[in-house]
């Protein structure tokens, strides 16, 4: 009985979007190992694994927040600017001094959370489209950044720099922190009323209103958390680089790349469908492919081509799968309808 239950669970997982994402990631890992082996290099070295995990950390934190707003049926285009602002504020306040460690972190987190709250109020209360609202706040932050900062600024405190370089074996501490954020957010989405309301609002706003659920609170919470996680990603940047930069967010393309990772992870941009763990699979796919192309010394611009192809293929596969599911349901309903009509005619 247990074996049968395990087999059934495994089959359901593989058939789900999340299971398919991780299956693709495993295939990418195998292909990466084979390609690097044929070229006389090794993909699974300690240094490369550490670099792979490190590269997933910043994007992973941004993706956590982006997943929340996409589940809501919204978008957050301000994340790269919030990330950059967090980095320059933290590094500027710390100025390389241990006594400013706490002040730098608190300043970056509070400002990032405040920007996310503004986005949430614009979307949830003012009812501005999330794309427009977050684009507007992002442009405001961008204007502030490039007016007041030129190049690298500030310096990380020794404590933050130590956190950025610390690791357990091949696993950086910052990656562990990112995974804890993933777990906490997954629990929030599935075990709290507000988390379930985020799914409900994204799934069908009209039904949500008829059910008596307030749409404003989920929007405010989701966008506020998105700003918070973008701020944490900025702190990780400072911990790794030792300085803040007004361009680090836009150079990394974290707005579009985070949306792509969520979509590849099985989420629907219309909202209501997706998961944190699916988004993690999307992050791992992109990070693994980037690492592979880096080892193979492929033209960096080819990464954008590969990312684009991945997004197109993933969305096409999900759309085809959903179409087949709808067809199967329609066929079963048509069969039942036909059988009931035959029974009626016999009677």
- What is the pLDDT, as a whole number, of residue 4? 60
- What is the pLDDT, as a whole number, of residue 54? 86
- What is the pLDDT, as a whole number, of residue 36? 85
- What is the pLDDT, as a whole number, of residue 269? 87
Q: Name beta bridge partners: 168.
A: 171
Exposure class string for 134-167: b at 16+ Cβ within 10 A, else e: bbbbbeebbeebeeebeebbbbbbebbbebbeee
Q: Quickly list DSSP for 85-144.
A: HHHHHHHHHHTT-GGGHHHHHHHHHHHHHHHHHHHHHHHHTS---HHHHHHHHHHHHHHH
Distance CA 342, CA 340 (A): 5
- What is the pLDDT, as a whole number, of residue 6? 47
Judged by phi (left if over 0) then psi (alpha if -120 to 50, else beta), residue 305 lies in alpha
H/E run at residue 171: strand 171-172
- What is the pLDDT, as a whole number, of residue 3? 59
Q: How many residues are given for the chain?
A: 347
- What is the pLDDT, as a whole number, of residue 326? 54
The tokens of 280 are what?
């993690």
Residue bearing tokens 């506020």? 224
User: What 8-state DSSP symbol labels residue 202?
Assistant: H
Distance CA 86, CA 88 (A): 6
Q: Per-10-residue mean pLDDT for the chain, 347 residues long? A: 52 62 88 84 84 90 96 95 97 95 97 97 94 96 93 93 91 94 95 93 83 87 97 95 93 90 89 90 90 82 81 76 56 53 52
Distance CA 206, CA 214 (A): 11
Q: Name beta bridge partners: 153.
A: 244
User: What 8-state DSSP symbol labels residue 192?
Assistant: S
Distance CA 250, CA 248 (A): 6
């Amino acid at each position: 009985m247990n074996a049968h239950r395990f087999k059934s669970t495994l089959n359901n997982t593989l058939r789900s979007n999340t299971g398919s994402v991780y299956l693709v990631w495993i295939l990418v890992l195998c292909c990466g190992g084979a390609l690097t082996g044929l070229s006389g290099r090794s993909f699974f070295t300690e240094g490369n694994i550490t670099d792979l995990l490190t590269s997933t950390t910043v994007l992973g934190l941004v993706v956590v927040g982006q997943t929340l707003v996409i589940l809501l049926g919204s978008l957050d285009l301000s994340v790269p600017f919030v990330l950059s602002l967090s980095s320059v504020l933290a590094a500027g306040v710390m100025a390389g001094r241990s006594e400013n460690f706490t002040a730098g972190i608190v300043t970056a987190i509070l400002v990032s959370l405040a920007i996310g709250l503004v986005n949430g109020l614009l979307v949830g209360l003012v009812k501005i489209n999330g794309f427009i609202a977050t684009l507007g706040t992002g442009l405001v932050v961008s204007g502030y950044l490039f007016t007041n900062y030129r190049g690298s600024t500030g310096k990380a405190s020794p404590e933050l720099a130590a956190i950025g370089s610390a690791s357990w074996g091949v696993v950086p501490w910052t990656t562990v922190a990112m995974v804890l954020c993933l777990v906490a957010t997954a629990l929030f989405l599935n075990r709290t009323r507000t988390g379930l309301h985020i799914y409900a609002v994204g799934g069908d706003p009209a039904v949500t209103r008829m059910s008596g659920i307030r749409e404003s609170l989920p929007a405010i919470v989701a966008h506020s958390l998105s700003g918070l996680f973008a701020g944490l990603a900025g702190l990780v940047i400072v911990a790794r680089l030792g300085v803040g930069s007004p361009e680090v967010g836009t150079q990394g393309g974290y707005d579009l790349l985070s949306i792509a990772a969520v979509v590849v992870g099985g989420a629907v941009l219309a909202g209501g469908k997706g998961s944190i763990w699916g988004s993690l699979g999307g992050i791992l796919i992109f990070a693994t492919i980037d690492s592979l192309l880096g080892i193979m010394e492929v033209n960096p611009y080819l990464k954008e081509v590969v990312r684009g192809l991945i997004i197109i293929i993933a969305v096409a596969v999900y759309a085809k799968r959903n179409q087949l599911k709808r067809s199967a349901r329609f066929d079963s309903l048509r069969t039942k309808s036909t059988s009931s009509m035959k029974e009626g005619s016999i009677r």
